[in-house]
Amino acid sequence: MSIGIGMKRPAEAGRPAWVIPLAGKVEALALPLLSLLAGLALFAVFLALQGRSPVDFYALVYKAGFGTAFSWQNTLARAAPLLFAALCVAIPARLGLVIIGGEGAIVLGGVMTGGLAAHVAGLPAGIAMPLLALAAGLTGAVWIGLSGVLRQWRGVNETIASLLMAYIAIALMNHLVEGPLRDPASLNKPSTAPIEAALKVGTIPGWSVHWGLVVALGGCGLAWVLIERTTLGFAARIAGGNIRAAQVQGLPVGRLVVGFTALGGAFAGLAGYFEVSAVHGSANASLAAGYGYTGILIAFLARQNPLALIPVALLLAGFEASSGLVQRRMDLPDATMLVLQGFVFVALLVGDSFQGRLDLARRLFPEERK
């Protein structure tokens, strides 16, 4: 019997219209979560093969990263630069760009902060601190924006370009910190001159966490609004889905590519600003702490969703906060957490290969195939 126009099939009549879209969202959430669990399980096997107890390992991770109020504050302090670094990856990713050189923008943003601090020391803190933050953000924007320029007008792969530029940035930082910008008083560890106490970023009242975390959380919120609730974000999603279709529609693809890469770089530059002004007090080799590379994993686990970056960054920050305790208690090398991140990242890449193939909605509602 044929079905007339406007009539619903029996399978559709009893099912709300939102079920299939919800099934797609569940699939998008389930894949990275399953990948994370698979990576943790594989690392547990890796530990067991070395004669170490996976149960003891994860118990220590929980205790040091999330078990007490002090642990949480340590985790939150580490989450700030990770959120900035993840935004550097997630924002350009909406255009289909894979930027993995955020580490370079972080170290150069920090060097700009440390080198410029002495020149703005005479200004009121209310003026000098925003100037330092702006300079660090602009430095990161220019550095990562160059990858967008090379991608758009020279056809250079942005992934390779941003990675190579990260190594150049670290070499440039070492040259400046150990040469022209070095403080003569920094003997064992070359550094720029310490910034004045008035220019240091303080901590949130009642917490030992600096205000960079609040700025990072605000940045995630603003990035979500930009991508999901503005015409620019809509245009970026169109260009990321099909760049030729976007060009046919007259969208400014070139400006979008450069603008979104520069915006991501600005957030990474701010990470360098807060690392100098709130943590280290000067620019030195400690800026190259690997936050930019961990940010890649966070962005991929969060599916480049700025709001989803927050819980993922907290999880990875807890892992890093527990590194010292795990090393002491279980006699493991200091690179253990990097190995764990490697297992998770490989599992995530494998999980990505199943994206769109599970067809969860069709499996739940096989009548839709008819």
Give the pLDDT band of residue 105 (cuts 50, 70, 90): very high
Q: Is the pLDDT of residue 4 over 50?
A: no
- pLDDT above 50: residue 182: yes
Mean pLDDT value of segment 282-299: 94
**Whole-number pLDDT of residue 3:** 43
pLDDT confidence of residue 116:
96
Q: Which tens digit of pLDDT belongs to each residue from 158-171? A: 999 999 999 999 99
Return all residues near 280 (Cβ < 8 A) that are at least 6 apart. 110, 191, 286, 287
- Write the pLDDT tens digit of every residue in 304-342: 999 999 999 999 999 999 998 898 899 888 888 989 999
In terms of pLDDT, which residue wins out, 197 or 28?
A: 197
Q: Report the pLDDT value the prediction gives residue 221, as an integer from 0 to 100.
A: 97
pLDDT value at 84 more than 90: yes
* Alpha helices, DSSP H, located in the chain: 10-13, 19-49, 54-66, 69-93, 102-117, 125-154, 158-178, 212-229, 231-241, 243-248, 253-274, 291-301, 309-321, 323-330, 336-352, 360-364
Q: Which amino acid is at 128?
A: A
pLDDT band at 359 (very low <50, low <70, confident <90, very high): low
Of 167, 165, 162, the closest CA to residue 92 belongs to 162
**Per-residue pLDDT reduced to its tens digit, 259-288:** 999 999 999 999 999 999 999 999 999 999
Phi, psi of 191, rounded to the nearest 5 degrees: -150, 165
Q: What is the pLDDT of residue 362?
A: 57
Supply the pLDDT for residue 25. Answer: 66
CA distance 132 to 111: 11
Separation in Å, CA 246 to CA 97, 156, 157, 263 = 15, 20, 20, 20
Higher pLDDT: 251 or 194? It is: 194
**Cα-based distances in Å from 364 to 16, 26, 62, 255, 328:** 13, 12, 36, 42, 49
* Residue-level pLDDT at 29: 77
Instruction: Report percent pLDDT > 70 for the chain.
Output: 88
Does position 12 have pLDDT exceeding 50, yes or no? no
Torsion of CA 220, 225, 230, 233, to 10 degrees: 30
**Residue range 121-139: average pLDDT?**
95
**Average pLDDT value for residue range 233-256:** 86
Domain boundaries, the chain: 85-311
Among 78-92, 214-228, 246-260, the range scoring the smallest mean pLDDT is 246-260
